[in-house]
Every structure is written in structure tokens, then in C-alpha cells.
Amino acid sequence: MFRFIFGRLAVLIPTFLGVSIIAFSFIRLLPGDPVMLMSGERVMSPERHTQIMHQLGLDRPMYVQYFDYLTGLLTGDFGSSIVTKRPVLDDFLQLFPATLELALCAIIVAMVLGIPAGVFAAVKRGTWFDQSIMGVALVGYSMPIFWWGLLLIIFFSGYLGWTPVSGRISAMYFFPPVTGFMLIDSLLSGQTGAFKSAATYLILPTVVLSTIPLAVIARQTRSAMLEVLGEDYVRTARAKGLSPFRVIGVHALRNAMIPVITTIGLQVGVLLAGAILTESIFSWPGIGKWMVDSVFKRDYAVVQGGLMLIAGVIMIVNLVVDLLYGWINPRIRH
Amino acid sequence: MSIVQNTAETKTGGTPPSGLSEFWYYFSRNKGAVIGLFVFLFILFMAIFAPFVAPHSPSIQNRELLLLPPVFQQGGSWGHILGTDAVGRDILSRIIYGARFSLFIGLVVVTLSVVSGVLIGLVAGYFRGKVDTFIMRIMDIILAFPSLLLALVLVAVLGPGLLNAMIAISLVNQPHFVRLTRAAVMTEKLKDYVVGSKVAGAGTLRLMFLTILPNCLAPLIVQATLAFSAAILDAAALGFLGMGAQPPTPEWGTMLAEAREFIQRAWWVVTFPGLAILITVLAINLMGDGLRDALDPKLKRS
């Protein structure tokens, strides 16, 4: 197991270097003058230009600049915003809990609904029940989620007036962030109605963000279950006279979960990509909206740092999924 | 494959069926796939003959009919079946013309990412060793970013627009083809028929492209279908974020972006372009499921 962990970590190093090269060259590939871009000034004299060039260290050879950037990354320096001058890492850490809360709620909803749906569809294979679940799953899988979000807003916020349109909690409530998770913080604050308010703000973004993972998990669970249900040990378990619930829930599901866990791990990238759209629609103050806003504000230092940090999160999650997978399924370690 | 041909032979009574009829036999057993195919052909027809099918021009603004509701709602008229948008353009006509963009985007993206992905994957899987390691590490790097974020940033570098959006989406789609081709080539390469043609004196290029590649096509065709629908979704998402096709292009995602501010007043401006995206993507995904049933020998046996 130790060798397995070590091997996985070793593969991560070149990926990390590659990602850092992409983030580093991104700013230099942009059309226009890097000095103008990084200093955020519009017009400047040639003397000022040389001076800033020197100040930002852009007159040094490329490899020195890259090495500098890399040592900065390793010491937690991801650059500073051109617009607000705040360190990118601070903004990221402040906004990340909002995205994490939304993504966690979405993946929990997707698992809680998707796994049973897939299991039932597999057990009832070929019936109208199976066909309608899989039909709905395919629609969910094909859904342009930015449009889905707008439809939900039209119906639930506009027509029925049940849910708010944007933000994380009603402006009526104010309390200092403790965990950064609005659901937990609102409970901790002890203010009546705060939790309910946070929940109503969370519900539509969660539905939108969970749509595609839910469909993928349901489809994957169904096909994994179908494969496992045909195995000899399931027949043996049935022949022993175990209850159908025990055969399906324990003998079959446990083995079918292995590919499903991989699928769930792969949804992290999907969730973060989905967060870009979901957060833009619902004005959810997370890293997805932050990145889109930064692209539009031409705050390229933030985009550069954000790219690096988001790729870092994905690499870490993938590593954890890999290790979990190796732990559940020892054959993969070799 | 031999098992499949045997079963198909017994059904047709001795004469071996052509590859195409065998394919159609399995494809048509999936009802959803056939429906998907017909819907897709209908959309394709609309896209090709848009100037003849569309009731109005997609760009002419009718100042007297701003935000006209669709025909089935009070105040609507048969002149504009799906209503008009905020500057008085006919929504149905814009959707019909928009099909051109979406299908074109899908086609270009799939072609670009399949050609480059298959070539790179073939090289990685055939030669293995250092080349393989190098290629796969680069693919890991591309896959370390959420695809939409990478596409968004690439478009920021290249400048917003349809062409750049297509290039960016191809690039983020391509690693899937590299991985798939590589895995297929690695299993095929060890099989007897490949060793046989090598012993018979086939050169490297012949082995790669004529011996191995045709036997790896089944999963690639299925993946290409999925990539086609994913490309349409991604391009629409970029358009929606303002980084894809630029207004007044009648691209579906761009139309949604323009319509966003009217969601409380005019639901039809938002609903129909998105419905067009959903139906197109759904039709292609239905076809993809049918293709997998027809091409995956592992599933056929069950």
C-alpha cells in the first residue's frame, strides 16, 4: 500500500509541473502587452514601461521567471489581483467554501437519488420502470444546465415565488462566517429562520448542479449492477436462500460500487465545470463565478492563480479517489 | 465478432449478412436510437435547408412586434409561431438557422479531436515506452482542468468567437480519444493477427493504420457521438457566458445569453432556444446508446 501511495504521488509531480507551466505561460500568451496586463494601466510612457518591466521582473530570462513563479507557488504565493490588489489565495480561500458547500450538496443529492435509482432499474430490467428511469436519466445527461437553471428560476422563483433568485442567504440575516458553510453557520448563529433562508437559497443551485452527476451515477450504477447480477456468486447467494434484499443490497451492490466510486470521483471536474455555469446563473459567490468575472474584468493574475488552484484541487481529489480505489480493490495496486 | 456473425447467419438463413445490415439489425432493436436518428435527420434537414424552411430572416428586426408571445398564448400570431425576441426577430427562424451553427460546431470539433486524438493515441499505444509516458502525462495535464474552465481561458487568450471556441473545445475533448485509442491499440497489438501480419512482413505504418486501427473503431465511434453532443453543449455554454459566438449570430447559447434579462417578462425567449439544444443533444445521445448496442460485441452476447 505504501508503495502504491508513493507511486501515485510520483505521477502527480510532472502533472503539477505541467499545470504550472500552462498557468505561467497563459499570461504571456495573451494578446497585448504583459506589462499593461499585469500592472493594469492603460497608457504609459516608455520610461515607465521599462521601469515596471524591471519592477515585475519581466526583463529577466523566461526560465528564471518560471523558476521564480514555481518557488512562489510552493510557498503559497499565487499572485495578487490587478483590480483589488488582494492575494489570489486569500480570495480563493474565502470563496471556496461556498463552492464546496454547493458541490457537496449536489453530489450527495446525486448519490442518494442516483444509486437507488440505478439499482432498482437494474433489478427491474426491461420493465417500464427501468425504461422511464433511464429515459429521465438520459434527458438529465443531455441537459444544458444553464438553461435548466433559467427554467427553474422562471417557474419556482418567478411564477410560484417560492425561492429567491440569487445569493446565499437573505440580507435580513448577518453573522460572521465560522465554517464558511452557510447551512452550518446559520445554525450556529442561533438566529431564527436563518437556516431556512440559507436552505431556500441553496435548493435551486443544488438541483441544477446535481442534474448531470445524478444522471451519470444512475446510468453507471445500473450497468455495474447488471454486470454483477449475472455473476456466479450472486446466484450462489440466491441459492442459499438469502432474502432478495440481502442478495441485492449486500452481495451485489458492494461489488457494483467499485466502478461507481470511480465515476463519482470523475464527477469532481464535472461539478467544478458545472459550478462555473450554476454560480453565474444564481450569482452564487463561489470560485466559478469568481473565475468568469475575472476573465471578463481582464484580471488575468486572478485567472492565472485560480487556474492553478482549481487544477490543484482536482489533482488532490483524483489522488484521494485513486487511493480509495486501491484500498477497496487491492488488485489495482499492482 | 465470429459469434455475432454466426447468430446473424442463422437468422437470415445461410447467406452472411453485410456489415451494414448486421449493424442496422442491432441498431434498430433499440427504439430510442431509431427515434434519435429520425429527430437528428429532421434537425439536419432544417439546418441544410434553413433559407427555405424558415418563415423569416433570422436577422430582420420588426420594431412593431417586440417580445410578441408564441401563437398558443393570448396575443400571439401565426406570423411568428414561437414569438419574437426583444428586438422583434422571429424566434423560430433564429432557432432553425441556429441548428446550422450547432451541427457545424459538433462536426468540426469531432473531426479535429478525433483526428488528432486517434493519431496521438495510436502512436502512444503502438510505440509505448518514453513516447507513451510523455504523451499520457500531457493528457493528464489537460484533464487536470475542468473542461469548461480550460475552454473559457483558452478563448480568453485567443479572443471570443465561434472559431476559437471550436478550437478550445476540440483541445479539451481530445484527451478522451487519446486514452481510448491507446487502450484499444494496446490490447489489439498483442493479438495473433497483428503478430501474424508482422511476421508476414507488414511495415510499421501498415500495421498501425491498416491492421490495428480498423479493429479499434467501435469504441471510438461511440465516443465520437458523445463528443458531438458534448461539443454542442460546451459551445452553447461558452456562447451563454459571452465567450462563444457573438451576437447577433443566431447561435442557441448566445440567444439564451441575450434573452436572460427578459426571463421574468417573456418566458418564450428563454425557453425555446434551450429546448432546441436539449432536443438536439438528446437525439444524438440516444443514437450513441444505439451505436454502443450495435457495435459493442460484449453487450451483444448478453
Do A138 and B289 make contact, defined as CB atoms within 8 angstroms?
yes
- B281 interfaces chain A, CB cutoff of 8 Å: yes
Cell numbers standing for residue B18:
453485410
- CB-CB neighbors (< 8 A) of B273 in chain A: 147
- Amino acid sitting at position A262: T
In this prediction, residue A38 carries a pLDDT of: 64
State how far Cα A189 lies from the chain centre: 27
Interface ipTM: 0.86
Quickly tell me which residue has 449493424 as its cell.
B23
Q: Quick: pLDDT tens for B233-243.
A: 999 999 999 88
pLDDT one-digit tens code per residue, A29-82: 777 666 776 666 667 777 877 887 777 777 788 888 888 888 888 888 888 887
Note the pLDDT of residue A37. Answer: 66
Mean pLDDT calculated for residue range A259-287:
86
The pTM score is 0.87
Q: Rounded distance, CA B131 to CA B177, Å?
A: 17
Report yes or no: B81 and B145 within 8 Å, Cβ to Cβ.
no
Q: How high is the pLDDT of residue B2?
A: 44
Residues B272/B213, Cβ–Cβ less than 8 Å: no
- Closest by CA position to A188, among listed A202, A201, A172, A173: A173
Higher pLDDT, A290 or A244: A290
| More confident position, A4 or A140 | A140
Contact (CB<8Å) B263/A280: no
Handedness of CA B281, B284, B286, B292 (dihedral sign): negative
Q: What is the pLDDT of residue A221?
A: 92
Of B213 and A170, the one with more pLDDT = B213
Mark B229-245 as b/e (b = at least 16 C-beta within 10 Å). Answer: bbbbbbbbbbbbbbbbb
**Contact check, Cβ <8 Å, B243/A276:** no
> Is A259 in contact with A220 (CB distance < 8 Å)?
yes
Q: How do the domains of chain A map onto residue ranges?
A: 88-333
Intervals of chain B under pLDDT 70: 1-17, 297-302
What is the per-residue pLDDT for A252?
86
Q: Which three cell numbers stand for residue B53?
A: 424552411
Whether chain A has a CB inside 8 Å of the CB on B138: the answer is yes
CB-CB under 8 Å, A314 with B145: yes
Query: What pLDDT shows up at residue A58?
Result: 74
The confidence band for A333, taking pLDDT boundaries of 50, 70 and 90, is low
Decide if pLDDT at A211 tops 90.
yes
Q: Across all residues in chain A, what is the average pLDDT?
A: 85
Residue of chain B whose Cα is closest to the Cα of A11:
B137
**Region A88-333: CATH code:** 1.10.3720.10
What is the percent of chain A with per-residue pLDDT over 90, rounded to a whole number?
Answer: 28
- For A283, list phi and psi in degrees, rounded to 5: 45, 45
The pLDDT confidence band at residue A135, using thresholds 50, 70 and 90, is very high
| Distant-in-sequence, close-in-space partners of A25: CB < 8 Å, separation ≥ 6 | none
Average pLDDT over residues A18-36: 79
Reduced to 3 DSSP states, what percent helix, strand and coil does chain B have, rounded to the nearest 5? 75, 0, 25
